[in-house]
């Protein structure tokens, strides 16, 4: 169990490569672990490995998402198909309200 605490200390908390994003995200992740995992898990087990793996898995998902988002051209996305789709959606919504 003390090995897991040592591993947690070595857990790489860099997620996106930007401290402006990573620091607040890690704070939210700490709160999530405290409020949504630790609250029930301590009743089941004292083994810290599960909590370590939950956090490591969430961080891996965020790292992969961050890497994928780096390749997105947000300017063309927001001015291209997304804008067309949003306009279409709003027109359909407006027609639905008029019925």
Note the pLDDT of residue 76. 82
Taking the C-alpha atoms of residue 57 and residue 42, their distance in angstroms, rounded to an integer, is 19
Taking the C-alpha atoms of residue 92 and residue 97, their distance in angstroms, rounded to an integer, is 9
For residue range 43-76, list pLDDT tens digits in order: 999 888 999 999 999 999 999 998 888 888 888 8
What is the residue-wise DSSP string for 64-86? Answer: HHHHHHHT--HHHHHHTHHHHHH
Q: Residue 9's pLDDT band (boundaries 50, 70, 90)?
A: low
Note the pLDDT of residue 14. 76
Asked if 66 and 15 count as a contact pair (C-beta separation under 8 A), the reply is: yes
Give yes or no for residue 3 having a pLDDT over 60. Answer: no
């Amino acid at each position: 169990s003390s090995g897991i605490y040592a591993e947690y200390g070595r857990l790489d908390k860099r997620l996106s490569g930007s401290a402006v994003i990573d620091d607040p995200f890690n704070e939210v992740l700490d709160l999530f672990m405290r409020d949504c995992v630790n609250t029930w898990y301590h009743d089941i087990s004292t083994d810290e490995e599960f909590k370590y793996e939950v956090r490591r898995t969430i961080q891996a998902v965020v790292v992969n998402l961050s890497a994928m988002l780096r390749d997105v051209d947000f300017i063309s996305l927001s001015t291209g198909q997304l804008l067309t789709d949003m306009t279409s959606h709003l027109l359909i919504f407006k027609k639905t309200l008029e019925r």
